[in-house]
């Protein structure tokens, strides 16, 4: 995806001087890991986060750095709301672990729950059992599932037929890619299966994030500030897509989650609870004032990293060097993308 360039870039030396690399434990395995590494940047406007997943290449990770530089050096658009409704996220855990996950979202339980499905090495039976336990524990909550593109077309049809009885609010990225998503959605309509489709990876990982809307591949788009290059770039995508949007996090610390909240706060409409509750999956954080939902919502407030916690969770020297080099390469990409000479030579 082209990296947007909404504002001037700070010099690399200034960015590196503001860099802190942390390693934080998770309370459950998520995306196959039990620890999360992240860069926290002490920018002049805000603390910001750069945390593309380790397997991402520089071309993809550069958008994440653009987001961090926007947040840290330029701040956020004016908010339209100060309370952000948030869903709970249940990883692909066994049913007997669901209750402890939901308990982290506070008294009264969440109003909306997103359940991970299609985990590698698990079966549809596992997914059904997990959903059944969530429904038992949260009988009035809105339920949504997220397959992260883990099913093929036929698998998705079988799975969504089995899960539709839970009254799903939507199914997020059941199959990979834009065209397969459009084909699945058309078949669900033909069969009369009342499961709306939400697109996540088909928006943030595609060269054209608007193809989903153009091909009628989804009813809802899921947007994340970091992968889309920042709050302002994400707002532009939502406006152009013309579809309802759900703001989600990318397993961010409290600092990164604050950026997602800024995006949700600036959207003209916010019809769904946002996926900004994943701080609850961290065993430790970079701030004592953890950015977790209260009564199902995040209040829009400033989040600053605590110097003592940055030091306590400081990553080993070799990891700090690895991340600093990654920042350098991504910054170079952003500089080159912003160069008038590069833009003049770009294909029309």
DSSP 15-27: HHHTEEEEEEEEE
- 199 and 138 in a common domain: yes
Q: Is 116 a catalytic residue?
A: yes
Q: What is the pLDDT of residues 324-337, one digit of tens each?
A: 999 999 999 999 99
- 322 and 274 in a common domain: no
Asked if residue 221 is part of any domain, the answer here is: yes
Q: What length is written for the chain?
A: 348
Asked if residue 40 is part of any domain, the answer here is: yes
- 102 and 27 in a common domain: no
- 253 and 317 in a common domain: no
- Cα separation of 96 and 100, whole Å? 8
- 313 and 170 in a common domain: no
Point out the residues of the chain with pLDDT beneath 50: 1-5, 341-348
Half-sphere exposure of 16 (CA within 13 A, CB side): 16
- Given this model, what pLDDT does residue 295 score? 84
Helix/strand/coil percentages in the chain, nearest 5: 40, 20, 40
49 is in an annotated binding site: no
CB 114 within 8 A of CB 275: yes
Burial 116-132 (b: 16+ CB within 10 A, else e): bbbbeebeeebbbbbbe
- 108 and 23 in a common domain: no
- 238 and 258 in a common domain: yes
**Which CATH number covers residue 276?**
3.20.20.120
Q: Is 205 a catalytic residue?
A: no
CB 210 within 8 A of CB 229: no
Which residue in the list 114, 205, 224, 348 is annotated as catalytic? 224
Burial class (CB in 10 A: 0-12, 13-18, 19+), 306: middle
289 is in an annotated binding site: no
Asked if residue 273 is part of any domain, the answer here is: yes
Asked if residue 116 is part of any domain, the answer here is: yes
Domain hosting 59: range is: 12-75+308-345
Asked if residue 7 is part of any domain, the answer here is: no
Element (H, E) at 171: strand 168-172
Element (H, E) at 247: strand 245-247
- Given this model, what pLDDT does residue 142 score? 96
- Cα separation of 258 and 303, whole Å? 7
Supply the angle between the helices 153-163 and 178-191 in degrees, to the nearest 10.
Answer: 50
- 129 and 46 in a common domain: no
> Which tokens in the block code for residue 296?
């199902």
- Cα separation of 179 and 323, whole Å? 35
- Given this model, what pLDDT does residue 346 score? 39
284 is in an annotated binding site: no
Cα–Cα distances in Å, from 298 out to 86, 108, 147? 7, 15, 25
Asked if residue 2 is part of any domain, the answer here is: no
What is the number of structural domains in the chain? 2
Residue with tokens 């698998």: 155
- Given this model, what pLDDT does residue 340 score? 59
In this prediction the pTM is: 0.89
- 320 and 279 in a common domain: no
Q: How many CB atoms lie within 10 A of CB 262?
A: 23
């Amino acid at each position: 995806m082209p990296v947007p360039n909404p504002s001037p870039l700070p010099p690399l030396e200034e960015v590196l001087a503001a860099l802190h690399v942390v390693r934080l434990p998770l309370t459950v395995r998520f995306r196959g890991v039990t620890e999360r590494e992240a860069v926290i940047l002490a920018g002049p406007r805000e603390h910001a986060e750069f945390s593309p997943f380790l397997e991402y290449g520089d071309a993809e990770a550069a958008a994440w750095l653009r987001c961090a530089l926007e947040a840290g050096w330029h701040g956020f658009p004016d908010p339209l709301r100060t309370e952000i409704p948030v869903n709970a996220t249940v990883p692909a855990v066994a049913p007997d672990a669901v209750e402890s996950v939901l308990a982290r979202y506070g008294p009264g339980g969440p109003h909306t729950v997103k359940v991970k499905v299609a985990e590698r090495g698990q079966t549809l039976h596992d997914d059904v059992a997990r959903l059944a336990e969530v429904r038992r524990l949260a009988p009035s909550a809105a339920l949504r599932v997220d397959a992260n593109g883990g099913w093929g077309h036929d698998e998705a049809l079988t799975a969504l037929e089995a899960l539709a009885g839970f009254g799903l609010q939507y199914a997020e990225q059941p199959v990979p890619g834009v065209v397969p998503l459009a084909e699945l959605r058309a078949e669900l309509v033909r069969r009369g299966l009342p499961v709306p489709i939400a697109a996540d990876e088909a928006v943030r990982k595609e060269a054209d994030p608007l193809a989903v809307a153009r091909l009628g591949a989804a009813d809802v788009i899921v947007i994340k500030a970091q992968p889309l290059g920042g709050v302002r770039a994400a707002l532009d995508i939502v406006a152009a897509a013309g579809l309802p949007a759900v703001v989600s996090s990318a397993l961010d610390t409290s600092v990164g989650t604050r950026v997602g909240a800024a995006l949700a706060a600036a959207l003209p409409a916010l019809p769904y609870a946002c996926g900004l509750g994943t701080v609850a999956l961290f065993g430790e954080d970079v701030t004592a004032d953890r950015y977790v939902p209260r009564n199902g919502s995040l209040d829009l407030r400033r989040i600053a990293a605590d110097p003592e916690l940055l030091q306590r969770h400081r990553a080993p020297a070799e990891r700090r060097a690895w991340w600093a080099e990654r920042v350098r390469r991504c910054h170079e990409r952003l500089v080159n993308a912003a160069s008038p000479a590069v833009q003049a030579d770009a294909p029309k």
